[in-house]
């Protein structure tokens, strides 16, 4: 039976206002190489390859009528796209290589407006804990937030942005589809290979992933890309380039 595969790649972008966004340095290059490798090696065994990325991320170069491009912007967009695919297709494998941002904007406010709101509050006869709670309530939901539907002025000298955590996409995948082969990714910087392995192993077990591709940021560049590919039994492969990683992943999908 031919397989339905999802590959998501590149960053997510979280809007602050009509033009400003929170994003990260991911380009989607590895995801696009994985897609090209899968298409080159196994095109005849594919029903659909759903490629999910932002507009400016790298895309597969191999032309194929098996590829279905889905463009997303935010983490919520990615979740919606995945939810829709899992609801309507039997997904055999997902390569979850997207660099989903950890934070999104909750609001933007002028520091002066926060100060005015604090000054107008009555803290008389409040305990220290009550004062902290009242201040926290102001910072959690101030009255004078700037609306994100329009562009914030370029001349505001004291803007403050409150951030919220984004949902963890990887934690939802096996809940959507327990039988889907899940290949996740973890990127760390400035740690030992042992620590990278331990963090990746925890991620694998926590999310019932089948494989985790564990990367070190400080060993990516100049044509090199170090990664350990692990499963519940330990390290399956150590790779040193993106094409090598892509080749291993393509065979893991179809084994």
Q: What is the pLDDT of residues 134-143, one digit of tens each?
A: 999 999 999 9
Domain boundary among 113, 141, 164: 164
Q: How many domains does the chain have?
A: 2
| Strand bridging mode 234-239 / 224-231 | antiparallel
Cβ distance 204 to 184 under 8 Å? yes
User: Which two tokens mark 10?
Assistant: 């590149």
pLDDT at 170: 98
Q: Are 126 and 97 found together in one domain?
A: no
CA distance 71 to 57: 10
Give the CATH number, domain containing residue 223: 3.40.50.10300
Per-residue pLDDT at 158 exceeds 80: yes
pLDDT of 81-106, one tens digit each?
Answer: 999 999 999 999 999 999 999 999 99
Q: Are 90 and 205 found together in one domain?
A: yes
Instruction: Tell me how crowded residue 61 is: count the other CB atoms within 10 A of its CB.
Output: 10
Q: Are 96 and 112 found together in one domain?
A: no
Q: Are 70 and 121 found together in one domain?
A: no
pLDDT at 55: 96
Q: Are 132 and 25 found together in one domain?
A: no
How much is the average pLDDT of 45-52? 98
Dihedral angle computed from the Cα positions of residues 95, 101, 103 and 105, in that order, rounded to the nearest 10 degrees = -120
Structure pTM?
0.93
Give residue 150's domain range: 105-164
Q: Are 69 and 183 found together in one domain?
A: yes
Q: What's the Cα-to-Cα distance from 101 to each of 13, 22, 48, 137, 174, rounded to whole Å?
A: 7, 8, 27, 26, 20
Q: Are 239 and 114 found together in one domain?
A: no
Q: Are 88 and 190 found together in one domain?
A: yes
Per-residue pLDDT at 147 exceeds 80: no
Q: Where are the beta strands (DSSP E) in 102-210?
A: 103-110, 145-146, 159-165, 181-188
Whole-number mean pLDDT of the chain?
Answer: 96
Domain boundary among 117, 136, 164: 164
Q: Are 18 and 120 found together in one domain?
A: no
- Specify the DSSP element, H or E, that contains 238: strand 234-239
Buried b (16+ CB within 10 A) or exposed e, 113-146: bbeebeeeeeeeeeeeeeeeeeeeeeeeebeebb
Per-residue pLDDT at 144 exceeds 90: no
Q: Are 56 and 148 found together in one domain?
A: no
Instruction: Give me the count of residues in the chain.
Output: 255
Domain boundary among 146, 164, 182: 164
pLDDT of 168-183, one tens digit each?
Answer: 999 999 999 999 999 9
CA distance 223 to 74: 29
pLDDT at 254: 97
Q: Are 94 and 115 found together in one domain?
A: no
CA distance 213 to 196: 10
Percent of the chain with pLDDT over 70: 100
Position 237 confidence tier, pLDDT thresholds 50, 70, 90? very high
pLDDT at 60: 98
Q: Are 244 and 180 found together in one domain?
A: yes
CA distance 168 to 183: 15
């Amino acid at each position: 039976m031919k397989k339905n595969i999802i590959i998501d790649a590149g960053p997510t972008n979280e809007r602050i206002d009509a033009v400003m966004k929170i994003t990260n340095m991911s380009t989607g290059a590895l995801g696009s190489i994985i897609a090209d490798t899968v298409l080159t090696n196994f095109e005849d065994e594919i029903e659909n390859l759903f490629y999910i990325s932002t507009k400016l991320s790298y895309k597969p170069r191999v032309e194929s009528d098996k590829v279905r491009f889905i463009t997303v912007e935010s983490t919520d967009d990615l979740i919606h796209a995945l939810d829709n695919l899992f609801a309507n297709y039997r997904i055999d494998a997902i390569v979850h290589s997207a660099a989903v941002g950890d934070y999104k904007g909750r609001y933007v406010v002028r520091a002066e407006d926060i100060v005015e709101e604090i000054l107008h509050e009555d803290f008389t006869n409040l305990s220290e804990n009550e004062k902290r709670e009242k201040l926290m309530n102001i910072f959690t939901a101030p009255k004078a937030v700037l609306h994100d539907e329009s562009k914030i002025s370029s001349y505001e000298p004291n803007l403050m942005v409150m951030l919220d955590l984004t949902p963890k996409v990887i934690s939802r995948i096996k809940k959507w589809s327990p039988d889907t082969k899940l290949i996740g990714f973890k990127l760390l910087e400035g740690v030992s290979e042992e620590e990278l392995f331990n963090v990746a192993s925890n991620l694998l077990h926590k999310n019932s992933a089948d494989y985790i591709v564990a990367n070190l940021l400080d060993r990516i560049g100049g044509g090199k890309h170090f990664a350990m590919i692990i499963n519940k039994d330990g390290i399956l492969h150590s790779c040193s380039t993106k094409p090598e990683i892509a080749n291993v992943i393509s065979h893991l999908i179809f084994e």
